Amino acid sequence: MKYRRLGRTALQVSEICLGTMNFGPMTSREESFAILGDALEAGINFVDTADQYGGRLGVGATERLLGEWLAEDPARRRRIILATKVHEPMSDDINDRGLSARHIQAACEASLRRLGVDHIDLYQMHHIDRTAPPEEIWQAMDRLISQGKITYVGSSNFPGWAIARFNERAAHSGRLGLVSEQGLYSLLERRAELEVLPACQAYGVGMIVWSPLAGGLLAGRSEDASGRRASAQDGEGARAHAGRLEAFEALCRELGVAPGFLATAWLLNQPGVTSVIAGPRRRDQLSSLLGAAGLRLDDSVLQRLDELFPACGAAPEAYAW
């Protein structure tokens, strides 16, 4: 496993981050624990979750499952960089959501209880809340930092302008500011290159990529595909991109690598990317991506991928002239 600094911090995180959204609702407790163990053994030290994850089991279920795994061996907590999120609705209560200072404080304390830990390494805003001023949010985050409940603050699904705004406000008050952005990025979805990635690079914010395989479209055709991946392979997106996906899989066969492996390696070769989230449902799905960490693609392969999946270009030139 290879490691990179999380944004401009000195913290080292693995190039592959273990995403836990499937744990509980889609993946059994036993298999979830096995995947977590495999990840540790492979050198993954970065684990991402969210307070809302739980699906049919209800919000908070995934954090509770992760807390049970951590409780089995206290040494596990020291070995991982633990990240979770706040913003999404946790109940029907109008104030049990969003990024008000009140909800941030209450949500963090609830996450700590479910996880069974005394602090969260990376506390991420799951989505922008246009009703909450940055001053209110930073007030809540400062309080949590001073209480020792969180260490770093990150964003998720933020536009470039919000990353800039939050970090300018933070710098004005002498704060560290946002250190990471968890965003949507893949060969099939490159719009982050217009504004989000340039903002991250300008402010020293590490990009953590979610949905690197475009919901399974870049994982390649498989007879044993199920769930979300099967839906992706048979859905409108697969039909819309059929020609490119066939050419991509042909390139993978030529190179002798699995499609998901190459799609992940491509992301880790992009400027500004710190870590790529793997969200396995089964143990074998994690192992198939591990080799992408540390793999550097040569210019000819990168050029062929750009030809198959063209870049958006630089803003504003890409759309202004």
- Can you tell me the distance from the alpha carbon of 32 to that of 20, in angstroms, rounded to the nearest whole number? 8
Element holding 207 (H helix, E strand): strand 206-210
The 8-class DSSP code of residue 13 comes to E
79 close to 40: Cβ distance less than 8 angstroms: yes
CA-to-CA distance for 192 and 199, rounded, in angstroms? 10
Q: Is 53 a catalytic residue?
A: yes
Structural Rg of the chain based on CA atoms: 19
Are the CB atoms for 15 and 276 separated by under 8 Å?
yes
- Three-class SS of residue 234? helix
Residue with tokens 């020609």: 243
* Cα–Cα distance, 57 to 62 (Å, whole number): 9
Catalytic site residue from 53, 123, 152, 185: 53
CA distance 156 to 88: 12
Q: Following CA atoms 59, 94, 119, 282 in sequence, which dihedral angle do they give, to the nearest 10 degrees?
A: 20
Tell me which residue of 288, 217, 214 sits closest to 257, measured CA to CA: 288
Residue appearing with tokens 């109008």: 94
End-to-end CA distance of the chain: 42
Joined together, the tokens standing for residue 308 give 């198959």
DSSP one-letter code for 186: B
Q: What is the DSSP string of 109-134?
A: HHHHHHHT-S-EEEEEESS--TTS-H
Question: Which active-site residues does the annotation give?
Answer: 53
